[in-house]
Structure 1
Amino acid sequence: MDQASPQFELVAQSPGHPNGTDYDVVSYFPWTLEDYQSFSECRNMDWSNPNVVGMWHGVVKKWIGVAAVCGRNNRQSVIRFVRTSPRNPLQLLHQAEIVTGPTEAVGIRCICWSFDPKTFAPLVVLGGMSGNIIVYSPETRSIFSVLRGHGGRITSLNSHPRNPHIIASTSRDKTARLWCLDLPAEMKISSTDPEANRLGPMFGSPLTGGEKEGLGPGRCFAVTIGGHSDGHNATVLHASFHPEVNILATSGVDHCIKMWSFDLPPPPTAPEAVLVNLVRPIFSTKFLHHAMVSCIHWLSPSLLVSQSAQSQTAEQEPFPAKLVVWKWLAYQTYKNVVTSGYEYVKDSLNATDSRKK
């Protein structure tokens, strides 16, 4: 029997770095020429203006096919930008070494792309061992901003599908945080829960004692409260934005999957913003997986896929790693409430009362 022909062919391989860099994560520029049509919520963008659309097309043509490759060496974190194309499978555009934190916290373990909503200039958001989030500009080859607030290692980063300047981060501190990259660093931030201010990052506390929240643009505007009866009780491993409405799905070491509803932040011109503590999810389950849920993604407005690792304890047989595709049955009801507001709720209650009669 003839051996089956391979489905893939290795066409290029990155040369090694002289300082012994280990690469951990890679992410391609994610947008196409027509993706601007999904950015209708982006602030101050008149997509009916051909000049604005032309500016977007210019950015995409320059960066499409470019991958950001991140790793670490003995001294600091490293990021490479490479272009892949049929003619030149691996073209190194540039490389930068980035200080992400103390020497013992070197390493970039998660990455996502964003952009400056004023210019569409691409931004690469980096997170890792230090707990700091670094926003790097490949256009200027410099740090755009540094975001601080998490109390532990960053485990995932994702950008909002309709507002890519909004970022979700998850962490070992049992929280997920939502950041807006166009809020000025000097904007005053107040918390919705004064008690949380005394309890640390796990409970949505802003930094205290004169500590800076970061450098450059970008502020945190919402935190899912960890360690709470309704929040994650262990490391949050992954988060995913809903494709149509403002819902964030999270998964974690506690075997749980949760969904959180949130509001968009105020405009950059507002005098202040509120750091909202998201205390109660709109959905929560721990019955889909018997081990830590390492990632979750939306496949459609009501369909999700989640993955768990193998679980093994001394007292029981191991549970194998599992990939689950499942449906959120309450999505249409939630959407009706969001779009129709209290009128929908009132009609539903009236219908319930009439059935009781």
Structure 2
Amino acid sequence: MRTYQLVHRLVLPSDLETAPGVLQAFPWTCESISNLFDGKHRAQKESWDTVIAEYGGAVAVGRDKRANIVFPDEPSKTPKAFISPINSEIIEKTQVAWALRTNHPLDPLLVVTHNRCIFVWDVGRQSLIGFLRGHGGLITSIAVHPCSPNIFATTSADFTTRVYNLDILPQSPYPPHPRWRPWPGPSAASAAQGFDTLADQGSGIGRRIVLLAGGIYGGHLWDVLGAAFHPRLPLIATCGADRYVKFWRCVPGQSMIREDKPIFSAKLSAARIFSIAWLSDDLLMIHCGMAYAPSPDNPNSRASQDPNSEEESPLHYEKTVPARIVVFRWLGLQRFFPDGWTNDAIQHVRGISTDSQQSNSYTIISSLVLNPPNPPRHGEQQEWISNLGQQNHPRLIFAYPDPALRTVELTEMVTLQVPEELEGVTRDIKRLRLESAASATSASDQGLVHISILGAEKLWKNRVLSAAAVTNAGDILVLDSRGNLWGMRRVHDK
């Protein structure tokens, strides 16, 4: 067991009593300047250290159409706040992410989403410098390129993922569309999931450069929930509610590209996949949710009711597959990116139909079960929350809405074994399918470390956790649905 001590509590302003939230700790350190933008700004190391001294302990909180930047370790620092200028009654997660521009690496930016739109906020000047029209559905996550933080992607419930470049300006106005008979003038519409409409893309800085479309040709068929850029190759991985993981070509540039066929697509879970991250060139980790099914044996289940009855009772669910963290290896890396490949070669990378529909070029490395801390109450369908999609800390923190915390190191996940029931299977076949792993009866949670919070029993009573993060210093931050940000520091291990 790992013991932490509550060291601070911040109360964030909000117009709602309860609202979902997102946490994003400042992702860079003093050493990061050597890797950002291919080391272009190494000569500015001294100025970069000044930026880290200013923002190294900052945390961005997205909640209730606003973004707050707070400094938990330095209460004397004045918090910064951005409030969306768009009024909307829709309650959604206000996504936030840190970003930089290539020619202005010393000016941290915050990308904020609200009401399907994207705002770029200059943190130092506290001014809005960019507005971009986003998706046709709610935005579910933001992923920033780990080495080129001027590139970021947003995923959405409209089945698409869209990639933006903060170094260039929005294209405005668009050239007129061709005339389509019998209409006398140019059309103002565009193809489904396209982006060549007559409306402006936005204002200020930033331009949409890639659209990864959903659909029957290989794209996602349900909400896209997470994305992750490959740190070295022009690739982006996406995951979603359709239980698929997909890899796409992603060539940042000034011209707009539309992709509808990924080079890898596989169903890797029995339930939704919330987030994904690259661990190495061909090793990835995904966070899968719990799979539910109606219980026919329960007297309250609709499946057990008289079909002629007009009365309906609440549908009772029981878990059939627990949540999991899965590490898998992509076996097709060398086929698409052989040794000695060049950036120009990515233009010719194309997969076959099995690659874009249901690829077999993967193998499961390890699988970790995430059991709920307590037996769920009747009708409860709560999911674990993780910081896997943040891509900035090797420690994974898992928070359960009914307050409970677990942690695991990424390096430990790679060394975990597949459940014992599957050992014989892995000897006989080269590729282990996740469907087999999901159907295993093992409920082992080896590798997870339970976290004990000193003095938290009374403080957390009747609270619901909505986000968790780990700072560069290793402290744990937890946000509850009432807008309280809790900071915890490690004390000792048992």
Normalised TM-score (structure 2): 0.58
Moved more, 95-104 or 148-157: 95-104
**Aligned partners of 1:179 and 1:338: how far apart in 2?**
28
Match of 2:328 in 1: 326
Residue 99 (str. 1) matches residue 84 (str. 2): yes
Query: Which protein is bigger by CA-based radius of gyration?
Result: 2
**Aligned partners of 1:18 and 1:329: how far apart in 2?**
47
58 and 139 in structure 1: CA distance in 2 versus 1, 3 angstrom threshold: same
Please give the per-residue CA displacement for 1:172-224, whole angstroms capped at 9, x wherever unaligned: 1100000001111346778xxxx9x6324xx232333xx22112110000010
Question: Shift of the alpha carbon at 1:309?
Answer: 1.2
Residue 113 (str. 1) matches residue 98 (str. 2): yes
Normalised TM-score (structure 1): 0.79
Match of 1:252 in 2: 240
Residue 178 (str. 1) matches residue 159 (str. 2): no
222 and 122 in structure 1: CA distance in 2 versus 1, 3 angstrom threshold: same
Match of 1:277 in 2: 258
Question: What SS class does the counterpart of residue 312 from structure 1 fall into?
Answer: strand
Q: Which has the higher contact order (CA 8 A, sep 6+)?
A: 2
**Aligned partners of 2:119 and 2:150: how far apart in 1?**
14
Match of 1:271 in 2: none
Among 13, 26, 35, the residue aligned to 1:38: 35
**Aligned partners of 1:331 and 1:289: how far apart in 2?**
21
**Aligned partners of 1:231 and 1:149: how far apart in 2?**
18
**Aligned partners of 1:157 and 1:338: how far apart in 2?**
31
101 and 226 in structure 1: CA distance in 2 versus 1, 3 angstrom threshold: farther
1:253/1:293 contact within 8 Å kept: yes
Please give the per-residue CA displacement for 1:84-122, whole angstroms capped at 9, x wherever unaligned: 33xx4x455223241253321365432211013222200
1:80/1:92 contact within 8 Å kept: no
Match of 1:297 in 2: 277
**Aligned partners of 2:156 and 2:213: how far apart in 1?**
12
1:137/1:144 contact within 8 Å kept: yes
**Aligned partners of 1:16 and 1:59: how far apart in 2?**
24
Question: What SS class does the counterpart of residue 234 from structure 1 fall into?
Answer: coil
Please give the per-residue CA displacement for 1:307-335, whole angstroms capped at 9, x wherever unaligned: 12112233897222221111112223333
Match of 1:261 in 2: 249
1:127/1:155 contact within 8 Å kept: no
Question: What SS class does the counterpart of residue 10 from structure 1 fall into?
Answer: strand
**Aligned partners of 1:38 and 1:224: how far apart in 2?**
27
Residue 140 (str. 1) matches residue 130 (str. 2): no
237 and 14 in structure 1: CA distance in 2 versus 1, 3 angstrom threshold: same
13 and 149 in structure 1: CA distance in 2 versus 1, 3 angstrom threshold: closer
2:71/2:77 contact within 8 Å kept: yes
Paired letter, 2:286: S
Question: Shift of the alpha carbon at 1:299?
Answer: 1.3
Alignment of 1:18-57 (within 5 A): 19=15, 22=19, 24-41=21-38, 45=40, 47=42, 50=43, 52-57=44-49
331 and 255 in structure 1: CA distance in 2 versus 1, 3 angstrom threshold: same
Number of aligned pairs? Answer: 312
Structure 1, gaps ≥5 residues long: 267-273, 346-357
Structure 2, gaps ≥5 residues long: 181-188, 297-318, 349-494
1:27/1:68 contact within 8 Å kept: yes
**Aligned partners of 1:257 and 1:156: how far apart in 2?**
15
**Aligned partners of 1:127 and 1:40: how far apart in 2?**
25
1:81/1:92 contact within 8 Å kept: no
